[in-house]
Amino acid sequence: MRICLALFCLSFHLVAAAQAALIIENVNIVSPHLSEPQFEMNVLVEDGEIKAISRTTIDVDGDVPSVSAQGMYLVPGIMDSHVHVSSVPGMGFGVEPVSRENPKLVEKYYQQQPRSFLYYGVTQVLDPNPGVHWQEFTAANAHPDYFRCEVITSKSTFPLVEKIDEASKVMFEYLVDEGTTTGAPGSPEDIVQAIHASGALCVKLYFEDGYGNASHWPLLSEETLARIRHAATLSGLLVLAHANALDMYEKAIQAKVDVIAHGMWNWGEYSRENQIPQPIAAVLDQMVRQGIGYMPTQRVIAGLGEVMLADAKDNPEFPAVTPSEMIDWFGTPAADWFREELRVGFDRLPDQTIADIFIHGRVGKGALVMRYLADAKHPILLGSDFPGSPSFANQPGLATALEMKMMADAGVGLADVLAAATINNAERFGLQAQYGTVEVGKVANLLLLSENPLETIDAWTRISYVILNGVLIERSTLAANHQAGRRLKLGSARVSFSCTRPC
Ligand SMILES: [Zn+2]
């Protein structure tokens, strides 16, 4: 048995080389396609896929290692369908001067980032604005399966319109030239075709005429939006919309987008009561009728508020997901630049007041909207928009876990949170043949939890093992503060290993 432990646990490389198949024994399966857990099941994983699920012993030829997972819960890996892997918390999109001045820190961060997502059970991500560093994420030897959208914007519309430095402008490769004839270079049809050829899953459009109540930026014309929609449909690409204000939601719905990638926090003239004001309910009802996906992205707002708190960098969860040098940097004057931007934006109100505006005001509106849609049985999509802003209060993987916690806090049921994190995203993005449930034929991206996620939201942070494309990884080895060679405490994880034959 000792030899098996060493095989499994010494390093990810060793495991990947050694393990083509795995049997998970006596595990309780929790999956969104099941109305209740299936207890004491056996699961065979082989060549990165779930090959068999059985109540009785699974017979296999040859030496196949097995995991006795008595009392544990096997769930599908989490999909966060709104993350930005080029962005660096506390720094921006990874192209700004602050990133360029700290190349070693940025490099360390990028090395840890994929492992931090896995540490919190995120085994698939969708990046709707990949920026210029996403290939560093996919080059890592262990990283969540990666999908992306590409942004279509123009020189006069958000987000390009607000970028002043050349390095930031480089991020936007697909610029549409409004008014060009069908199929001409730079036309909506030409741009959508190029995005399709790049291997992206979707296009992302921005419905943003100004932050807060401002409305000084133009939007793409209705004709351009219609041409993009038509071309995307022909190419089989989904259309994602950035929108978070009532009027921008109306425009996105009118443009027949597939998913709105932010919660609705800006209610225009309407204030928060104990229920949704009728004009807002009418827009949400329209979303439900058109089947438009909804990503709450509550962590965007929470992250803006939390960064204003004096102890923001002392979050006890950070050391597991963030290199220690980076946490130290968050405490330096150089890292204060974004807080200072927020202070200026709020006319130098006290930091605590600014924090409260975000944490209690706008988060509360987003929570009411989420609850309204969940009550209407409209599938919610887990998307954290990590990091959402240059706030360092959001860290990889942790932001996803907190987003799920915010769903539960808003009153979304635990079965609906499970669906939001798994099958809803898989179905919405056309990936349900590979992901979203624990069923034969699906990709073996799975989690072993020590508690039942249908009983407590905290189960999602009590991960013992992550199974990525069929490879078993002990969670603690993914942590930023994991010390290589440290003795493993397997007894506490309640998992023991054996092999079908001496190994
Ligand atoms: Zn985003």
How remote is the CA of residue 205 from the centroid of ligand 1, in Å?
Answer: 11
How remote is the CA of residue 35 from the centroid of ligand 1, in Å?
Answer: 33
How remote is the CA of residue 153 from the centroid of ligand 1, in Å?
Answer: 14
How remote is the CA of residue 83 from the centroid of ligand 1, in Å?
Answer: 6
Tell me the mean pLDDT in the region 363-381: 94
pLDDT digits (tens, 9 = 90+) for 444-463: 999 999 999 999 999 999 99
Are 205 and 220 contacting, i.e. CB atoms less than 8 angstroms apart?
Answer: yes
Cα(243)–Cα(486) distance, integer angstroms: 46
Cα(354)–Cα(346) distance, integer angstroms: 7
How remote is the CA of residue 387 from the centroid of ligand 1, in Å?
Answer: 8
Cα(336)–Cα(347) distance, integer angstroms: 17
pLDDT at 422: 98
How remote is the CA of residue 483 from the centroid of ligand 1, in Å?
Answer: 33
pLDDT at 200: 97
How remote is the CA of residue 275 from the centroid of ligand 1, in Å?
Answer: 27
Residue 407 confidence (pLDDT) above 60 = yes
Which residue ranges make up each domain of the chain?
2-77+438-499, 83-428
How remote is the CA of residue 494 from the centroid of ligand 1, in Å?
Answer: 38
pLDDT digits (tens, 9 = 90+) for 161-178: 888 788 788 888 899 999
How remote is the CA of residue 405 from the centroid of ligand 1, in Å?
Answer: 19
pLDDT at 485: 52
pLDDT digits (tens, 9 = 90+) for 210-238: 887 788 899 999 999 999 999 999 999 99
**Spatial CB neighbours of 336, under 8 Å, sequence gap ≥ 6:** none
> Which pairing describes strands 122-127 and 78-80: parallel, antiparallel, or unpaired?
parallel
How remote is the CA of residue 418 from the centroid of ligand 1, in Å?
Answer: 22
pLDDT at 478: 97
Domain 83-428, what fold?
TIM Barrel (3.20.20)
pLDDT digits (tens, 9 = 90+) for 28-64: 999 999 999 999 999 999 999 999 999 999 988 888 9
**Spatial CB neighbours of 275, under 8 Å, sequence gap ≥ 6:** 368
Q: Which residue has the tokens 């058109």?
A: 290
pLDDT digits (tens, 9 = 90+) for 61-120: 888 999 999 999 999 999 999 999 999 999 988 788 888 899 999 999 999 999 999 999
How remote is the CA of residue 66 from the centroid of ligand 1, in Å?
Answer: 40
Tokens found for residue 56? 């009785």
How remote is the CA of residue 443 from the centroid of ligand 1, in Å?
Answer: 26
pLDDT at 97: 84
Cα(19)–Cα(4) distance, integer angstroms: 11
Cα(477)–Cα(15) distance, integer angstroms: 12
How remote is the CA of residue 12 from the centroid of ligand 1, in Å?
Answer: 30
- Give the rounded percent of residues in the chain with a pLDDT score beyond 70: 92
How remote is the CA of residue 54 from the centroid of ligand 1, in Å?
Answer: 41
Tell me the mean pLDDT in the region 272-276: 79
Tell me the mean pLDDT in the region 363-369: 91
How remote is the CA of residue 188 from the centroid of ligand 1, in Å?
Answer: 22
How remote is the CA of residue 81 from the centroid of ligand 1, in Å?
Answer: 10
pLDDT at 270: 83
pLDDT digits (tens, 9 = 90+) for 185-200: 999 999 999 999 999 9
How remote is the CA of residue 442 from the centroid of ligand 1, in Å?
Answer: 28
Residue 308 confidence (pLDDT) above 50 = yes
pLDDT at 484: 64
Tell me the mean pLDDT in the region 449-478: 97
- pLDDT, averaged across the chain: 90
Count of alpha carbons within 13 angstroms of residue 289, beta-carbon side: 8
pLDDT digits (tens, 9 = 90+) for 1-11: 222 333 343 33
How remote is the CA of residue 489 from the centroid of ligand 1, in Å?
Answer: 38
Are 382 and 78 contacting, i.e. CB atoms less than 8 angstroms apart?
Answer: yes
Q: Which residue has the tokens 């790049």?
A: 198
How remote is the CA of residue 126 from the centroid of ligand 1, in Å?
Answer: 10
How remote is the CA of residue 249 from the centroid of ligand 1, in Å?
Answer: 16
How remote is the CA of residue 24 from the centroid of ligand 1, in Å?
Answer: 37
pLDDT band for position 487 (50/70/90)?
Answer: very low
pLDDT digits (tens, 9 = 90+) for 321-353: 999 999 999 999 999 999 999 999 999 999 999
Find, among 407, 50, 83, 136, the residue nearest to 261 by Cα.
83
How remote is the CA of residue 80 from the centroid of ligand 1, in Å?
Answer: 12
pLDDT at 2: 24
Are 23 and 37 contacting, i.e. CB atoms less than 8 angstroms apart?
Answer: no
pLDDT at 272: 75
Answer yes or no: same fold for 2-77+438-499 and 83-428. Answer: no
**Spatial CB neighbours of 107, under 8 Å, sequence gap ≥ 6:** none
How remote is the CA of residue 436 from the centroid of ligand 1, in Å?
Answer: 22
How remote is the CA of residue 6 from the centroid of ligand 1, in Å?
Answer: 40
How remote is the CA of residue 467 from the centroid of ligand 1, in Å?
Answer: 27
197 to 128, 152, 235, 236: CA distances (angstroms): 16, 14, 9, 11
How remote is the CA of residue 300 from the centroid of ligand 1, in Å?
Answer: 9
pLDDT at 19: 66
How remote is the CA of residue 243 from the centroid of ligand 1, in Å?
Answer: 10
How remote is the CA of residue 478 from the centroid of ligand 1, in Å?
Answer: 25
Out of 3.40.50.1260, 3.30.1380.10, 3.60.10.10, 2.30.40.10, the CATH code matching 2-77+438-499 is: 2.30.40.10
Length of the chain: 503
